[in-house]
A and B are shown apart, each in its own frame.
Chain A
Amino acid sequence: MPAPAGAPAIEVAHLVKHYEVHHREAGLLASLRSAFSRKRESVPAVSDLSFQIAPGERVGFLGPNGAGKTTTLKILSGLLYPTSGRVRVHGYDPQHREAGFLKSVSLVMGQRHQLYWDLPPVETFALNAALYGVPEDTFRETLGELVELLSLQGVVEKPTRQLSLGERMKCELVCALLHRPRLMFLDEPTIGLDVEMQVIVRTFIQQYNERFGATVMLTSHHMDDVTALCSRVIVIDHGRIQYDGDLGALVRRVCPAKQLVLKLAQPVPRERLAARAEVASLTEAQATLRVPQEALRTVIPQLLAELPILDLSVEDPPLEQVLRELFAGASPLGGPAA
């Protein structure tokens, strides 16, 4: 049943998911034993997850490997049944797999594809248009726009197996967006792509969200994806939410110090830098220092007066560092943010 206007795009309440895993040791005896008696264990993947996402939001879903990110995404897209809890996407229960639900969402997984391997992508595009009930003229118009935006002229008529990884990924995005979904689940969409392609994919997703108001839920280990696309992040670890809120606030809470990046005209001994601030890294040409926000006004003039500095920039610490410190327990958050 579709949600009324103004309702959240995604509602998750007390979601729990356990996997049943078969344990088997290595060796011939273990193999023989396993043929007659199997040891099974229930592994919790998601434990009591609750959150809401409003229509049009771009949300990063972060966590270390095995945290429960992809499991949550699969439950929201209807691929997995939850062990318990309540899930609604656009008002639908994803597990019922109603046509209205499936036509309103799209799933892009960096390691999976829906293009036919031996056929040109244009065949899969035409198939998807028919399956999703996209009128012929709308399909032609949308396809033309997407091909133009992603520079796929001359590419979509070649067999998929003859395309580069970047071209295939762009075609997968076209496949996923032909039916103009209101919600995109993106699971590692830039995995394996070079830097230029990562930027193209990010820019494209941002433009799609801004133009059509589509909700975006993204998991990625490329933190640049998250910082470029998402103002809100949900951090999950061991199946539980560790943080849910503004990305900038997360950075300030976990790593309150700023990073000063100094380009040096000549090498500087570490001790001279350490006298003013914590040294994060040092080479002959560049030094990175950690300085508390409130100390910047005094430290920067001192450094400029004392050191041979060609250039200086003040940056937030990289998100990778923030998450490393968070998951290492170095910077406890004290519960999910409001």
Chain B
Amino acid sequence: MTPWQERRRAYLAMLRVEFANATHYRATFLVFALQSTMPLIMLAVWWAATEDGPIRGMGPGDFAAYYLASLAVRQITASWLVWGMNGEIRGGGVMMRLMRPVHPFLAYSAESLAQMPLRLLAALPPMIFALLWLGSAHFTRDPLLLGLFLVSLAGAWLCEFAILVTIGTLGLLVESSIAIYQVWLGVHALLSGYLIPLTMIPEELRGAVALLPFRYLLSFPIEVLLGSLSRGEALRNLGVQWAYAAGFLGVALAVWRAGLRRYQAYGG
């Protein structure tokens, strides 16, 4: 076997085992489906607020399309990685992971990707409901933009994964990185478009928010799907998103190397 074939065999094996692990508890699917209810709550709020007239050009149907897409995208990109990593580091389980001849980031990515079929099952109902209820008018029908949406979804997943694995790795440097993760969740909710569409942010702040990477974790794929961006704008932003992904991965690897030097391998 060539080294490439060996690596492919190893990764496929990790995906297979992690999928078996994820599907062991059939209730896991329900947990995924029920964990992201905030978009539905915000949908109800904005629906009521715009019944008498649109706000910043968005009416009830626009908010419905936005939040249902947000629900679906968040299902794909969310992960419990930070909790798992902190548990392993504090409990000592990470030691056995470090003894394997595969970088732990690859193992963590396999764990996250193996949950994707279940997450897709949870993400599809809101999208199908959105299409049946609202029709396709609120979504782009441009095949190129639909293709770019899928690429931007992958980019959003990669950015989120790199950031989460960095936060999890901080557990090697501090006693627990869960508090850092909680802060991250709060900032993410506000600046990624999860709580409110970024077009609702005051004009004076929108420029600064656009410079931050949070938009590329959620709002950007939604903007592509809803046809809010032209082809050129979508392609340009896609370049920025994947540059962020590469940068975040680089930071994650550097933090991991630094963390390993400080790691004290708790436990017997």
Contacts and interface: CB of A to CB of B under 8 A. Distances in A.
A114 B10 contact: no
A184 B16 CA distance: 28
A79 B196 CA distance: 44
Interface stretch (B92-100, B162-170, B185-193, B225-233): B92-100
A116 B17 contact: yes
B24 interface: yes
Interface stretch (B73-81, B118-126, B138-146, B256-264): B256-264
B102 interface: yes
B267 A111 contact: yes
Chain A interface residue bracket vs B: 35 or more
Size bracket of the B interface: 20 to 34
B17 A131 contact: no
B202 interface: no
Nearest to A101: B101
A79 B93 contact: no
B86 to A, nearest CB: 17
B111 to A, nearest CB: 11
A281 B229 CA distance: 89
A130 B17 CA distance: 11
A315 B232 CA distance: 87
B21 interface: yes
Interface string A101-144: 01101110111111010110001101111111101000000000
Q: Which of A99, A103, A126 has the most CB of B within 10 A?
A: A99
Nearest to A114: B96
A91 to B, nearest CB: 16
Interface stretch (A49-57, A70-78, A149-157, A230-238): A70-78
From B1, B99, B100, residue with most partner A Cβ within 10 Å: B99
Interface string B16-35: 11001100110000000000
A109 B268 contact: yes
A247 B208 CA distance: 71
A287 B119 CA distance: 70
Given A111-B267, A127-B14, 6 more contacts: A70-B268, A74-B265, A102-B100, A109-B96, A112-B95, A132-B101
